[in-house]
């Protein structure tokens, strides 16, 4: 996309932006507004944009995206998000917008996430409404509505309006997010949202600096998500030479196990993408080691992803007796043998959001 076309895209998005105050706070200077939708907490002077380039200040009001999706809507298997412990085999109506507060050089969704930064990126935008999204989800038999493809925190107001509508049809709602969240945005989302998949990309400060964020902010975001009772699954894309050091993977696993051993951890294979084409894909042996590391840290559910031929490890097993309770081959589901959210062989509860609506063990006792 040329610079001119990018300007046109911005103009088209700005024409659809609406003023919203839920995640806006007064700035320190006249006309300035502070956005609290993500941990960057941008101070935005009149007429300027925040770090995501999507939200901006017009006349002292925070303007946010509303009423459109990028690239259309898709009915995906929920395993593709990936949520492995949520209604296995169900459909997730998936939508996204444009932009991100981070700029990962290996982003797999860079055409949408970097559309406002990168002249090569961009996607068609389609006007829609929360009611249309709810109707489509119901008509196609989806059980959930998920904001994904770009960073949903930067369009939290739109998501809440979509999720409020989806909730009237009994649909689950969720984010596929980088987790760079503030307490304010989590409190805003929680009444309308059930599920959070978070990418914990590295456990090193210098790693997050390269991506445009701070480790402490993301860890605080994950802690806040868990504390508020969202169903949480975490993904770490294992990138050779970036975060594949066993000590770093052990730090990630220990952090998650310290929150709850019931948090599913997906360790997925990197394939060269976007601006990171200077290294090969993640070796299977590295992923297998990451699975071991997760288990050694005490995590009960650790899954390799983005690799074929490991069905034994893709299945969900009872952490007590080893019985396979959910058979899985990539995004396809085989038998689901749970009985009232528990292992049919020994009765151990399996944390997750299952057909019988059971409260997951990792959420029990949480607000
Ligand atoms: S969403 Fe984040 S990056 Fe965008 S304006 Fe708000 S605080 Fe800044």
* Nearest atom within ligand 1 for CA of residue 51: 3
E strand residue ranges, 270-315: 302-305
Ligand 1, atom 4: closest residue by C-alpha: 52
Please tell me the predicted confidence (pLDDT) of residue 331. Answer: 86
Counting from 1 in the atom list of ligand 1, the atom nearest the Cα of 38 is 2
What is the CA(96)–ligand 1 centre distance, in A? 17
What pTM did the predictor assign?
0.93
**Cα of 140 to ligand 1 centre, how many Å?**
33
In the reported structure, the alpha carbon of residue 47 is separated from the centroid of ligand 1 by a whole-number distance in angstroms of: 15
State the Cα–Cα distance between residues 63 and 73, nearest whole angstrom. 24
Alpha carbon of 53 to ligand 1 centroid (Å): 8
Q: Ligand 1 pocket by C-beta < 6 Å: which residues?
A: 35, 37-38, 40-42, 50-52, 55, 101, 154
Q: β-strand 302-305 against 265-269: which pairing, if any?
A: parallel
Average pLDDT across each block of 10 residues of the chain; the chain has 367 residues. List them in order. 64 94 95 97 96 95 96 91 95 93 83 74 86 97 95 97 96 97 98 97 95 97 97 96 96 98 96 76 94 98 90 93 94 91 95 71 37
Report the pLDDT value the prediction gives residue 116, as an integer from 0 to 100.
Answer: 75
Domains of the chain: 3-64 (no CATH), 68-307 (3.20.20.70)
**Distance of CA 239 from the midpoint of ligand 1 (Å):** 26
Residue from 19, 37, 65, 153 to probe ligand 1 pocket by mutation (most atoms less than 8 Å from CB): 37
Q: Mind listing the pLDDT tens digit for each residue in 341-361?
A: 999 999 999 999 998 654 444
Q: What is the residue with the minimal CA distance to atom 5 of ligand 1?
A: 50
Question: According to the model, what pLDDT value does residue 280 have?
Answer: 86
């Amino acid at each position: 996309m040329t610079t001119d076309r990018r300007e046109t895209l911005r103009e088209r998005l700005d024409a659809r932006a609406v003023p919203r105050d839920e995640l806006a706070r007064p700035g320190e200077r006249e006309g300035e507004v502070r956005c609290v939708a993500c941990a960057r907490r941008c101070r935005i002077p009149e007429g300027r944009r925040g770090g995501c380039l999507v939200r901006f200040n017009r006349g002292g009001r925070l303007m946010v995206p509303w009423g459109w999706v990028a690239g259309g809507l898709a009915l995906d298997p929920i395993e593709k998000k990936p949520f492995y412990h949520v209604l296995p085999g169900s459909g997730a109506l998936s939508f996204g917008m444009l932009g991100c507060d981070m700029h990962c050089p290996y982003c797999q969704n860079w055409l949408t996430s970097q559309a406002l930064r990168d002249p090569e990126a961009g996607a068609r935008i389609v006007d829609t409404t929360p009611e249309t999204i709810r109707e489509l989800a119901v008509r196609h038999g989806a059980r959930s509505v998920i904001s994904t493809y770009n960073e949903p925190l930067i369009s939290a107001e739109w998501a809440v309006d979509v999720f409020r509508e989806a909730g009237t049809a009994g649909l689950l709602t969720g984010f596929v997010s980088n987790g760079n969240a503030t307490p304010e945005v989590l409190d805003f989302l929680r009444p309308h949202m059930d599920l959070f998949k978070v990418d914990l990309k590295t456990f090193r400060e210098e790693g997050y600096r390269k991506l445009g964020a701070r480790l402490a902010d993301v860890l605080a975001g994950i802690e806040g998500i868990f504390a508020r009772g969202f169903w949480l699954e975490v993904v770490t894309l294992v990138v050779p030479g970036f975060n594949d050091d066993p000590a770093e993977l052990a730090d990630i696993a220990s952090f998650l196990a310290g929150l709850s051993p019931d948090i599913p951890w997906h360790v997925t294979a990197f394939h060269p993408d976007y601006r990171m084409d200077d290294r090969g894909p993640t070796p299977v042996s590295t992923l297998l080691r990451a699975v071991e590391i997760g288990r050694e840290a005490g995590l009960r559910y650790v899954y390799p992803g983005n690799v074929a031929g490991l069905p034994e490890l893709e299945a969900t097993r009872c952490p007590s007796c080893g019985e396979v309770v959910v058979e899985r081959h990539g995004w396809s589901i085989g038998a689901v043998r749970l009985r009232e959210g528990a292992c049919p062989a020994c009765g151990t509860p399996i944390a997750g959001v299952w057909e019988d609506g059971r409260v997951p063990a990792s959420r029990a006792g949480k607000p």
